[in-house]
Structures are given as C-alpha cells and as structure tokens.
Chains A and B, each alone.
Chain A
Amino acid sequence: MLAYIVRRLAQMLPTMLGVVLLLFVLFNWVGGDPAYLLAGKMANAESIANIRRQLGVDQPYWVQLGIFLRQIATLDFGLSWATGEPVGQIIATRLGPSLTVLVPLTLLETALGIALALAIASVRGSLTDRLVMVACTVGMSVSILVYIIVFQYQLAYRFGLFPVQGWGEHLGENLLRYASLPILIGLAVSIAPTLRLYRSFVLDEVGQDYVRTARAKGLGEARVMWLHVLRNAAIPILTHVMASLPSLLIGAFLLERFFGIPGIGREVILAVERSDFPVIKAITVYVALATMLVNLLTDLLYQALDPRVRLS
C-alpha cells in the first residue's frame, strides 16, 4: 500500500511539471509583457523598464521558468498585481466561503441524487421514468445563468424569502442565511445531471445476478435497493463525486459573483478580467495539485470499498 502511494506520488511529479510548463508557456510567452499592467496611467519608458527588471521579464525564458518553479516550491506567488495582497493570503481567506457553499451543496446533491435515483430505478421503464428523464433533460438544457437571474429575482426580491446577496461574519449565519439561496440554485441546476448519472449507475447494478438472488431470497424491494444495490453503486457514485470536487471549487463562480460571496471562483473571474496573472497562476497550480491528490485518494478509497480491486 505504502509502496503504491509513493509510486503514485512519484508519477504525479512529471504531470505537475507538465502543468507548470503549460502554464508557463501560456502566461509568460503567449501572455506577453505584464509590466505595463503595473505601471499606471502615466507610465514613462523608464518606470516601465524598472518594473520589467523587477519582474525578471527581461531575462531569458529559462530564468523566468526557474523563478516560476521556485514560486511553486515555496508556495509564494508574490503579490496580486491588482490589489497588492499576498496571493497566498487571497487563497487562504477565500477558501472558507467557497467551501461553506460547496460542502453542503455536494452533500445534499449526492444524498438527494441517490435517493431519487433509487426511487426512479424501482419504476424503470415506466412512463414516470420516461417523463422524469425528459424533465431532467429539459432542466439541464436551461443555462445556469437563467436559473440564477430568475431565482434571485423571484425568491429573494419578489417573495423576500432570502437575502438578495451578501456574506456575514459567522459560520452559522452564513450557512443558514446567506448560503441558502445559492445552495438551492446549485441544487436545482445539478440535480438533473446527477440524477441521470446515478440512475445509470443503479440500473447497471440492478441487472446483475446478485439482485435476482436477493429477490429470490425474499428480501423486500426497499432492502434490496438500499442495502445491496446501493453498496455496489456507491463505488462509481463516489468516484464521480470525488472527481468533480476540484472543478466544483471554481465552478461556483457564477453563484459567487451574483450573490457577492467572497470565494475562490469569484476571485478567479476578477483576476481574469484584471489580467492578474499571479492569482490565476497560483489558483491553477493549487487546483491541479488538488485534482491529482484527489484522484489518488479516490483510487485508495476504491480499493477500500471494493475488495475485488487490486491496485497494481
């Protein structure tokens, strides 16, 4: 087991280097000269040259790559070009609000998805099944923008059920008051694809022999579903949840933007609009790292859940 982990970690290294190289090419080569972004309204040639020198942009590419690698190794990406705030601090402070929305959202979405998938699977092939699937498809085809705009207008403003936007001090307040509507919208948007996917996982299991055996033994349908089928379907479900975690962090950027939640997604969009390269680079590197670690974790969990799987 330990040997497997070490080997996997060692395999991550070339991938990480590849990611670094890709980002370097993207930002330092394709992105062009960043010094002007900092020089301000009245930049004259001398102050621009000054800043370029400080950033090392006038150095050969391999020196710049070295600087980038050092930044990653020391986890110090310097200061944001737009606000001067240390990038590490930006990420550390924005992570909390993002997770306050995403953790409950993921939990609720998975729980609801499983429950509904099992329910639907028990009536598979019927008209209900077909109608629900079509409803899911229709739900998925409406853009998330429409959901956000309409929900915010109707539920928060017209009916006054939720605050229009904002973020508070305390976890409880944030969770129950400010995060409610974003979580609700997130659920509405994600329930359709989740349901479709989980339904297919469950249906894959339902066709198996052991289910027929369990039924033949006389077990009730509910027990068959929740006890036997779910345990086996849990593996692909878990894989799916884990795999979607890293992208969830960034994916909520629209929710964060509309509801004024100071999270990572909103920060990324701001950085992209302001060409704040250090922030974008740092977040991309960290998310890539997180993705690889989560994949490793998923594989380990896979082995723990399914004794048939032997990690090679």
Chain B
Amino acid sequence: MTAQHSAGLWQLAWRRLRADRWAMAALAVVLAFLLTLLLSASGLIVADWEQEVAVSFAPPGWAAAAAGSGAGAPLNDTDALLRDNPFDPLADDLRALRSELGRPDGKASLPMYGVTDPLADDLAQLRAAHGAGGTTGATGARLATLPFGADKWGHDVLKKTVKGGETSVVVGLVAALLAVALGTLLGALAGYWGGVVDALLNGLYNIFTAIPSVLMILAVAAVLQQKGVLTIVLILGLTGWTGPYRLIRAEYLKHKGREYVLAADAIGASHWRKMFVHIFPNVSHVALVQLSILVVGFIKAEVVLSFLGFGVPVGVVSWGSMLNEAQNELILGRWWQLTAAALAMAVLVTAFSLLTDALRDALDPKVKF
C-alpha cells in the first residue's frame, strides 16, 4: 500500500493561487515593484535622482506637444523656460563676467566705510592664485522636457517616483512588520497563557482601541515633533498592532487545546518552543494576511502624514512628499508630479490588495469557490 502524501496548507494555497490569473498578475506586479525597490535601494538605478537635470517644471515630452493649445487654462510653459534662463548657454559666462565686474580684484571697488575685513588678505591671495572665482564648472545645459516631466528643482519625476516608491514601500513594510511582530507576540502571549497575562494585555488592547488610530497617530506626532523615517515607522508600528493582536490571540486560543500541542507537551517542549515552534507555523497565514493588509494601510497613511508635515525629512523623497508638493503645483497647471505619484501608488496598492484577497481566499480552507 503506497502512502498518499497529502499536500500541506502552503502547497494547497500555492496551487489555488496559481490557478487564479488575476492573483498571478497582481503577484507579478508586486514582485516587479519589490525588484525595483531592491535595485533602487542598492543604488543600481536612480542613484542620481537628486541631479537637477532639467529646467524647473519641465513638462513631459509627450504632453508638451499637446499643451499650449489649451484655451486659457494652465500656464503657457514657455514662460517657465524664459524665466529659468539656465537654458541660456551663456548663463555661466555672463554670471562670471558680472561677478568680475563687481569685483575686479579684491574689494578695491567696494567702500569699506572704515571697517576692516579680517579675511581681506586671504581672499585677495586666493583670487590672485586661482583667478576670478565664478560659479562652479558649468553643469551643462538643462533639459527642456523629460519622459515624465520635472519638479520645481528640475529633478526627473520618473526617478523621483521610483526613489519615492522605495521610501514609501519600505516605510509601509517595516512599519507593518513591526506592527505584526508586536501584535503576534502579544497575541501569542495572551492566547497561550490566558489568565492574568490575557487580562492585562486585553486591558492594553482596550486602551489602544479606545482611541481612534488617526487621533493616536496625530497625538504622537504632535508630541514627538521629530521628523524622520524612523519616527513615522515607530508611530505607525506602535499604533497598528491591535488588529493582528486580536486575530492571533483568537488563533492561539483555538490551537492551545489541540492534540498536537498536548503531544508537544508530552515530549517536554518548553512554553516558548510550543508557542513559536509548534503553534506559530499553523497560524502564520493569518499573520501574513494581516501583514499584507497593514502594508497597504501604512503606505496610504504615510502619504497623509507627509501631507500634514509629519512625514519624511528633507532630502528624502516619498510618494507622500511628492503629493504634498504636487498639491500646489496643480493650481499652476503642473499636473505631472501628481499623476506620476498617484498612478504609481494606485498600481502598487491595487496589486497588493488583489494579492491579499487572493492569498486570504487561498489560505482559508473553508471558502468555497
């Protein structure tokens, strides 16, 4: 008699997932995003996103042709080109000449009104040794259009979107991991031990859920007043653990009395071993689904937090900071940054949500198809 090897939960789930075309498409999209994230984080792509390669508010290449004919609505973009004269190939030379005229050699032309300059000699020597200063070497003419346009500083919006995605997704992932880890740990403790521990943790849960998460986040942000990626991750993670906690606790309560746990007890497994080596693999699918849900929620929360000013610090770009900038740009008729960030976020969040749904259905043996 051959022993039939029955597939485990994960294998069954994978099979079901594979059969669902939408889910596979969503998975592909999510993996593509994650791959881009890895490439961006390692610096293999978009490492130069901070270069100001274009003129301020350069329009997208494919839209520039269509724009300009709009009746009376957004700004005529040639304005921007005229006003930002870095496009002028002579700009650097003119600037150098201007500065030279202002200061032929040293400060002989400027009246000092009886005040001595302690650095006068040094500056005169430096100028004499190296010639008139002027600006840094010409960075080259700036581009007039880019595939997805440029922002106020002339950064490439496409590169910003990729880099911003890295930040937003990392914030979402790490915060979600923190929340799920915390929730799982506390849920396991509460569900497994029961009694006083359960009562205490439930009390903590009640306290945290008595305050709406939005309010909690704002209150913590108001008090901390410290910006930074770490702060956002902490705020989101420390306020988001309640959802996973409740579900994991229910799971542990269910599994505590099962036979395999009693068997583990019989072989002398310690409490920690029972909790995390024996029971946890059986409830991990719940944690995974929660993780997925929270990632989506936290990416969206980061956007709102950045809009309110509690987001990423200066020099770090995220989709939230892009939307924050884009809000004022829209009234001026510059729609490309808003579109890029909103589109990228929409695609990722949609894919993630579809994947989460499919995952939940695939992992739940009771759902009928």
Contacts and interface: CB of A to CB of B under 8 A. Distances in A.
A19 B210 contact: yes
Nearest to A147: B342
B211 A284 contact: yes
B114 interface: no
A179 to B, nearest CB: 21
B219 A26 contact: yes
Contact of A250 (B212, B300, B348): B212
A271 B223 CA distance: 11
Nearest to A18: B207
A10 interface: no
Contact of B212 (A14, A22, A149, A247): A247
A65 to B, nearest CB: 16
B28 interface: no
A141 B345 contact: yes
Interface in B295-345: 296, 300, 303-304, 307-309, 323, 327, 330-331, 338, 342, 345
A26 B215 contact: no
A1 B303 CA distance: 45
Contacts of A31: 223
B22 interface: yes
A283 B222 CA distance: 14
Contacts of B300: 143
B220 interface: yes
Nearest to B207: A18
Contacts of A146: 323, 338, 342
Chain A interface size range: 35 or more
Contact of A142 (B204, B219, B342): B342
B275 interface: no
B350 interface: yes
Chain B interface size range: 35 or more
Nearest to B356: A137
B349 A30 contact: no
B342 A143 contact: yes
Nearest to B330: A149
Given A134-B22, A146-B338, A291-B210, A284 B323 contact: no
A280 B219 contact: yes
A271 B220 CA distance: 13
Given A15-B203, A254-B304, A143 B345 contact: yes
B1 to A, nearest CB: 37
A276 to B, nearest CB: 9
Residue in B207, B210, B327 whose Cβ sees the most chain A Cβ within 10 Å:
B210
B85 interface: no
B194 to A, nearest CB: 17
Interface in A13-36: 14-16, 18-19, 22-23, 26-27, 30-31
15 contacts: A18-B206, A23-B219, A27-B219, A134-B354, A140-B349, A140-B353, A141-B346, A141-B347, A143-B323, A145-B303, A145-B304, A272-B219, A284-B211, A291-B212, A292-B210
Q: Which 10 A-B pairs have the closest CB atoms?
A: A141-B349, A247-B212, A18-B207, A272-B222, A288-B210, A15-B206, A31-B223, A141-B346, A141-B350, A137-B353
Given A137-B354, A141-B353, 18 more contacts: A26-B220, A134-B22, A134-B354, A141-B345, A143-B323, A146-B338, A249-B212, A250-B212, A250-B218, A251-B214, A254-B304, A272-B308, A275-B225, A283-B215, A284-B211, A291-B209, A291-B210, A291-B212
Interface of A: 14-16, 18-19, 22-23, 26-27, 30-31, 130, 133-134, 137-138, 140-146, 149, 153, 207, 246-247, 249-251, 253-254, 268-269, 271-273, 275, 277, 280, 283-284, 287-288, 291-292
